[in-house]
Structure 1
Amino acid sequence: MVNIHVGEVVRKSSKILSGAILMTAGIGIFIPNTLAGTLPSSDAPPVVNGWVQVSTPDQLEYIDQNQSSDITTGSTTTYLGANIELMNNIDLTGYSGWVPIGGNSEPDFGGTFNGQGYEITGLNIDDSSDANVGVFGETIGTVENVGVSVSLDGSSGANAALVGTQVRGLISYAYTLGTVEAHSGGNGNFSGGGNGGTAGGLVGIQLSGGHIQDSYSSAQVSSGAGGNGAAEEGGCPGGSGGDAGGLVGQAAGNIQNAYAIGDVTSGNGGSGIGSSGAGVDYGGNGGLAGGLVGDDTGLIVDAYAVGSVTAGNGGKGGGGGGGADDYGGTGGSAGALVGTDSGQVTDAYAVGAAVAGSGGVGAGGGTMTVTAQVE
């Protein structure tokens, strides 16, 4: 008689390897799923009427660690293109190893994620390697009706509690709280310093096809500092500080009926320093900072911001000899609503204090700009 026992065999960072134990003549032989057929993991969420239903932390973790897997045996839909809905509040306290859903090394998330008014809480994201960091990395679909509480220590790319980069699509009736901290740019080695990471409370970077409506953030937001440039003879600039916004770091799409109430700080520019004083050294510019949006080139309608805003300082420009042609970086501009705006703002206001960054040290000097409050 042959008995087959199906179960979880290995669990590491919520990745499930399951298979079959073939018992015959008292000998157990493990047969992985690739040979035994498709034996479903106990943590794979069920699919009901075309919707992937997430009721437990293990089920959400399973999706996170199996993003390109089919939602059911024989399906042509992966989790990145699926309709997913929360059935309960999800507490991810104690879970580590979160991989942003969509983007980076995976296709963008193009399905619909409907939180149905539930929250995802207790999530710690520590990810300095991915270009787009958040619960979602990059989205082209819909994320709606969900709250997220997160502590995020991100990268020098696009960072936010909910979506790192919104390429296109819709975010609606969503909110975030917690902290978002972007990573500094790398220091140059006979090259310029890297730019600091962009940070937003809800979305790090929104491209022109993105739309955000009926959403808010109370997260505390800090973008990354620019890295230092370094060369023997100078001429390698410091990187710019990353832009920061209470709702969105950089916005080129549409934002409607939204607000942010968290404090915002943008990164300092990196130094551009050559060891001998030869050549021209340029300090990096301080990052832009806005209570709602750091750098806005899109459309903002019916919005407000309340948090305190502080922009980064320009980096030092100066070689070992302190040449007269060295230039300090420009201090970042700060706005209670937007750090800088070349788009359109209608029916919006801000009440927080805004402090611009100082210009960096160097004969070229730097400027300090405060963007006027828009009402």
Structure 2
Amino acid sequence: MLANNIDLSAYDSWTPIGKNRNLPFYGTFDGNGYVVSNLKIVFNKKYDLGVGLFGNAGLGSEIKNLGMINPFIHSESGWVGSIAGSCFKVTNCYSIGGSVTTTCYDAGGLTGVLGNNSESKPGYIGYSYSTTNAISMGSQAGGLAAYATKDSVIEYSFAIGDVVVTDKGGEINPLTAGCIAGGIMANAQDGCLIRNCAALGNVSGKDYIGMIAGNETNSIYTVENCIYNLADSLNAPCYSPNAILNNVVGVNLSSSFVLQIGIHSQKSSQLEFSIPDLNLSSLEYSVTSGVEVESTLDAIDKFLEKLWQDSSALGAIENRLESALEEISAAYDNLVSTQSTIRDA
């Protein structure tokens, strides 16, 4: 359990806790609401899978209540994430700013691999988010996780960082057939569930791309009550044609809307609004400019304050729409009554 915020800027290259699959971390790590900032890892040892604050977290492990600020990871091995290279359970965690990059495969904003494929053990991410960019020069990158084993669950979480998969000399995952990218998860296996999530970052790649989940196979998994960024790409929310989609909505974050709410052509009978600008770039600048943790937390507080203000603005729009609906309903009733009077005359 953490008792304070930790700044790792003094370390040129952090050695992951549970640095390989033969020496994993077991147990529960509770960040207690504190943050680890300026994690830096430059990892050149190929095939030693698992790179992050935690390299490999073993069966039944959980990492919770932890924040990562401005992580920078560049690895020649696979399974790369800001919090863990591989992990079973991530709860109430976040990663802000920075980037995780692999020249191999499986880069995730929070964890590279979720669950344990060899033992068919599912993983879980809940109540967490990432604005960290996930980049793979080989195959598979996801906003929160790159690869999730069968029956894994990601819920009540969101990803805003860019997800990029290229084939610039990197190594392709031997279990996949090409470059796979997803706004939440790159490669979702059968039975996976993504629910109550938002994938609002930019997603780009060459082969199998989904704004929420990728997949080069026809995996059967479920996505429900989710939104995704529609403005940046024409890609579908999920690449797999067998994905089960329930209440999945694309949102154009740059769009403005004009609704006719009255009978006249004047602006008084129209309601114009746009989705509020969350100013994520300014938040990321505060995080990535090397400021102290206290200043970064202050930036987050200001961001949350603006979020509440924008929420209030949307609430005002909702109230006006409800009022307009009542007026239109009353006008309709009056029109029907007038028509009835004319017919009876």
TM-score above 0.5, yes or no: yes
2:130 equivalent to 1:222:
no
Query: Is contact 1:100–1:134 with CA below 8 Å preserved after alignment?
Result: yes
Q: Which amino acid counterpart does residue 354 of structure 1 have in structure 2?
A: S
What is the rounded CA distance, in whole Å, between the counterparts of 1:108 and 1:181 in structure 2? 20
CA distance in 2, matches of 1:90, 1:214: 22
> For 1:230-257, what per-residue CA distance to the aligned partner results, in whole angstroms no more than 9, with x for missing partners?
xxxxxxxxxxx31011111112211111
Corresponding residue of 1:125: 41
Indicate whether 1:301 and 2:221 are aligned. Answer: no
Query: 1:216 is matched by which residue type in structure 2?
Result: Y
Following the alignment from structure 1 to structure 2, what is the Cα–Cα distance between the partners of residues 97 and 263? 24
Task: Give 1:290's aligned residue.
Answer: 182
Q: How many residues align?
A: 220
What is the correspondence of 1:309-324 to structure 2 with a 5 Å cutoff? 309-312=203-206
Unaligned runs of 5+ in 2: 116-120, 171-175, 250-345
Instruction: Rate the CA distance shift 1:270–1:126 in 2: closer, same or farther, 3 A.
Output: closer
CA 105–221 in structure 1, closer or farther in 2 if over 3 Å, else same: closer
Q: Conserved in 2, the CA contact under 8 Å of 1:243 and 1:267?
A: no
Q: TM-score, normalised by structure 2?
A: 0.58
Structure 2: distance between partners of 1:180 and 1:125: 11
> Could you tell me how far 1:346 is from its partner in structure 2?
1.8
For 1:285 and 1:162, locate their aligned partners in 2 and report how far apart those are by CA, in whole Å.
27
Distance in 1 separating the partners of 2:101 and 2:199 = 21
> What percentage of residue pairs aligned between the two structures are identical?
32
8 Å Cα contact 1:223-1:265 kept in structure 2: yes
Structure 2 counterpart of 1:344: 222
Matched, 1:250 2:147: yes
More helix by share: 2
Deviation at 1:354, TM superposition (A): 3.3
Contact 1:128 / 1:183 at 8 angstroms: preserved in 2? no
Specify which of 95, 119, 122 is matched with residue 176 of structure 1.
95
CA 1:310/1:105 → structure 2, altered by over 3 Å: closer, same or farther?
A: closer
The correspondence of residues 1-375 of structure 1 with structure 2, limited to 5 A, is 85-104=1-20, 106-129=22-45, 130-140=48-58, 141-149=61-69, 150-166=71-87, 168=88, 170-184=89-103, 196-207=104-115, 208-224=121-137, 241-252=138-149, 253-268=152-167, 286-297=178-189, 298-312=192-206, 332-340=207-215, 342-352=220-230, 353-354=232-233, 374-375=248-249
Deviation at 1:268, TM superposition (A): 1.7
Structure 2 counterpart SS, 1:209: coil
The CA RMSD over aligned residues, in Å, is 2.6
Question: Contact 1:133/1:155 (CA < 8 Å) preserved in 2?
Answer: no
Deviation at 1:285, TM superposition (A): 5.5
Shift of 1:269: 6.9
Distance 1:270 1:98, change over 3 A: closer
Whole-Å Cα distance in 1 between the matches of residues 80 and 183 of structure 2? 16
Give 1:311 shift.
0.8
Query: Could you tell me which amino acid in structure 2 is paired with residue 305 of structure 1?
Result: A
Query: 1:31-82 CA distances to partner (integer Å, 9 max, x unpaired)?
Result: xxxxxxxxxxxxxxxxxxxxxxxxxxxxxxxxxxxxxxxxxxxxxxxxxxxx
1:69 alignment counterpart: none
Deviation at 1:209, TM superposition (A): 2.6
Tell me the distance in 2 between the aligned counterparts of 1:179 and 1:335. Answer: 23
Once the two structures are superposed, what CA deviation does each residue of 1:151-205 show, in whole Å capped at 9, x if it has no partner? 1111331111011012x3x210000123334333xxxxxxxxxxx3210000101
Alpha-carbon shift at residue 286 of structure 1 (Å): 4.1
Paired AA for residue 123 in structure 2: G
CA contact (8 A) 1:269 1:285 kept: no
2:102–2:135 CA contact under 8 A, matched in 1: no
Structure 1 Cα separation of the partners of residues 197 and 148 of structure 2:
14
